[in-house]
Amino acid sequence: MLMDRYTLLQKIGIYAAIFLFLSFILLPFAEMFRTSLSPMSHLFHSPYEIWTTEFSFEAYSKMWEKVPLLGRYIWNSIYIATMVTTITMVFVVPAAYAYARLDFPFKALSLGTFLAVNMFTGAVLLIPLYRIMRTLGLLNTYWAMIIPGVAFLIPTGIWLLRGYLEKIPKELEEAAFVDGASRMYTLRRVVLPLAVPGLIVVGVSVFIGAYAQQYLFAITFNQIPELQPLPAGLNQFIGYQSVEWNQMMAAALTGILPVMVVFLFLQKYLVAGLTAGAIKE
């Protein structure tokens, strides 16, 4: 009986912790959605009211009139994030494989350096990055936002994928080497097919990171409105005397839909990749 009570209390504690965690994560999105449905007059009502009979989707239609280039901004965000993810994975895959399988001088030091790079935010390196982009003639182009994104996400990708590749048995590669296969052939035909769940986890993580870090690079390295991503384009909802908060929240929620679709579509692969290797055989 005592054990049953302990088990019940344990379950209650676990579910309570999960509820608090999900509330902390989801409440901002719930407030954004409520704001997008509310008229401007209700947003500044005192005392604060959660519910109003004036809820409508009017902001979702007016936001396209307020910012005519909104669709282009959303497309730019998707394009930039996709390009950053693709280029990052091209560099991450061979680099992570080298760190997982090869021994070379300064391996631990260089890997630690990658981790140290992740401790710096983009704002710290904006001035040298700006000078590099200006020297290369990349200012006011998509590449001015893509290249810095790749540079900051490669270390994270290497760390994530390296840990997954280390869980793949070396005996599989050794058998391929015995048959005369080269290391690159083994990587393509043996390792990568087994590492698909890990590749998806890293790819989605990089895509989300690329989608989230666009604002700083966009407002610093690009002055062409047609090339701006959504985070920078949201500034147009801010006027001289007022801010269209409901339309801004509607546009922001519309802009994160691509990330949510990617996550939901790849959810089962993400779970498989995150739990792979968790059980020791």
Determine, yes or no, domain membership for 29.
no
| CATH number of residue 126's parent domain | 1.10.3720.10
Determine, yes or no, domain membership for 223.
yes
Give the dihedral of Cα atoms 149, 151, 157, 163; nearest 10 deg. -160
Determine, yes or no, domain membership for 173.
yes
Residue 267 lies in domain: 66-275
pTM: 0.84
- CA 141 → CA 83, 107, 137, 150, 162, distances in Å? 13, 35, 9, 15, 32
- In the chain, the N- to C-terminal Cα span, in Å, equals 35
pLDDT (tens digit, 0 to 9) for every residue of the chain, 281 residues total? 556 677 778 888 888 998 898 888 888 888 889 888 888 877 777 676 777 777 888 889 989 988 899 999 999 999 999 999 999 999 999 999 988 888 888 888 888 887 777 777 677 788 888 999 999 999 999 999 999 999 889 988 888 888 888 888 888 888 888 878 888 888 888 888 888 888 888 998 899 889 888 888 999 999 898 999 999 988 888 877 778 888 999 999 998 888 888 777 777 766 665 555 444 44
Determine, yes or no, domain membership for 148.
yes
Determine, yes or no, domain membership for 30.
no
- The count of structural domains within the chain is 1
Determine, yes or no, domain membership for 268.
yes
Determine, yes or no, domain membership for 205.
yes
Determine, yes or no, domain membership for 86.
yes
